[in-house]
């Protein structure tokens, strides 16, 4: 468990799978994700079963927010493609419960993962890819301390159009641990 004041990152439970299926079939949620197909309950159950064989530091965590005194799961966040030579890892996030967009929860979750990545896992570089057509995500990452590195032109395809993909990152020496 990675604890913040109003966001915490917790292990994913099997009981959450139906909620993930619902969120990952929502066109607004997946507009910023590289999902181009229906997500099935069977597929998500197989994905969940596969987590047991993954490197434990690459198992995604559920994002929980404190509402009315209760911790509610709203999405997930995780490292992947971790490189143990360069101490670098890609990170991905989604908040599937749209009621919780634009309230700073994504930024808090990212800040908690930066603390975990740099402070606990001894990473040197944490990076991500984001569609240029996703300004909410870009702003969220900028607030968390990510800087723009470059753009891969026409590298995504959404709604009948090619979209640019921005690369963003934080290096360990740039990271400022913020109280969240
Ligand atoms: C992207 C995501 C993780 C961001 O989390 P969040 O909690 O909504 O983001 P935050 O509230 O921390 O920050 C969003 C910022 O973007 C701003 N914003 C929202 N819509 C915007 C727009 N159209 N243009 C510019 N800025 C925008 C918000 O005002 C806020 O900035 P502020 O605090 O300076 O006002 C979340 O919205 C999400 O999961 N979306 C769906 C899946 C997705 O796109 N994942 C990312 C894939 S790379």
The secondary structure of 20-47 as a DSSP string is HHHHTT-HHHHTTSS--SPPPHHHHHHH
Assign 152 a pLDDT band (cuts: 50, 70, 90).
very high
Mean pLDDT over the full length of the chain: 97
Cβ < 6 A, ligand 1 pocket? 29, 32-33, 75, 93-95, 101-107, 130, 134-137, 139-140
* pLDDT digits 0-9 by tens, 57-86: 999 999 999 999 999 999 999 999 999 999
pLDDT digits (tens, 9 = 90+) for 116-142: 999 999 999 999 999 999 999 999 999
Q: How far is the CA of 85 from the centre of ligand 1 (A)?
A: 32
169-174: average pLDDT: 98
**What is the reported pLDDT for 18?**
98
| Mean pLDDT for the stretch of residues 50-55 | 96
Closest-CA residue to 16 (of 94, 91, 68, 90): 94
Predicted pLDDT at 37: 95
- Residue 157 pLDDT grade (very low, low, confident, very high; cuts 50, 70, 90): very high
Residue 16, helix vs strand vs coil: helix
Q: Whose CA is nearest to atom 31 of ligand 1?
A: 139
Query: How much is the pLDDT for 56?
Result: 95
Whose CA is closest to atom 35 on ligand 1? Answer: 102
In the chain, what percentage of residues exceed pLDDT 90?
99
The pLDDT of residue 82 is 97
Could you give the CA distance from residue 66 to residue 180 in angstroms, rounded to a whole number?
13
Question: 93 CA to middle of ligand 1, Å?
Answer: 11
Domains located in the chain, CATH noted: 2-174 (3.40.630.30)
- The residue whose CB lies within 8 Å of the most ligand 1 atoms, and thus the one to mutate among 140, 152, 180, is 140
Residues counted in the chain: 180
How far away, in angstroms, is 47 Cα from ligand 1 center?
Answer: 26
- From atom 16 of ligand 1, which residue's Cα is the shortest distance away? 136
Give the Å distance between the CA of 28 and the centre of ligand 1. Answer: 12
Q: How far is the CA of 92 from the centre of ligand 1 (A)?
A: 14
- Look up residue 170 and give its two tokens: 């934080």
| Res 142: pLDDT | 98
């Amino acid at each position: 468990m990675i604890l913040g004041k109003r966001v915490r990152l917790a292990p994913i439970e099997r009981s959450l799978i139906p909620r993930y299926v619902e969120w990952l079939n929502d066109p607004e949620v997946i507009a910023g994700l590289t999902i181009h197909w229906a997500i099935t309950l069977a597929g998500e159950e197989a994905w969940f079963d596969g987590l047991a064989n993954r490197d434990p530091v690459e198992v995604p965590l559920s994002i929980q927010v404190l509402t009315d005194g209760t911790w509610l799961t709203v999405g997930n966040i995780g490292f992947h493609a971790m490189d143990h030579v360069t101490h670098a890892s890609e990170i991905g996030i989604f908040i599937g419960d749209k009621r919780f967009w634009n309230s700073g929860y994504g930024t808090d979750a990212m800040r908690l993962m930066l603390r975990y990545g740099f402070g606990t896992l001894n990473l040197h570089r944490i990076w991500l890819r984001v569609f240029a057509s996703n300004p909410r995500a870009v702003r969220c990452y900028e607030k968390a301390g990510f800087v723009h590195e470059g753009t891969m032109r026409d590298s995504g395809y959404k709604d009948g159009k090619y979209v640019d993909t921005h690369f963003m990152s934080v290096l360990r020496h740039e990271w400022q641990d913020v109280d969240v």
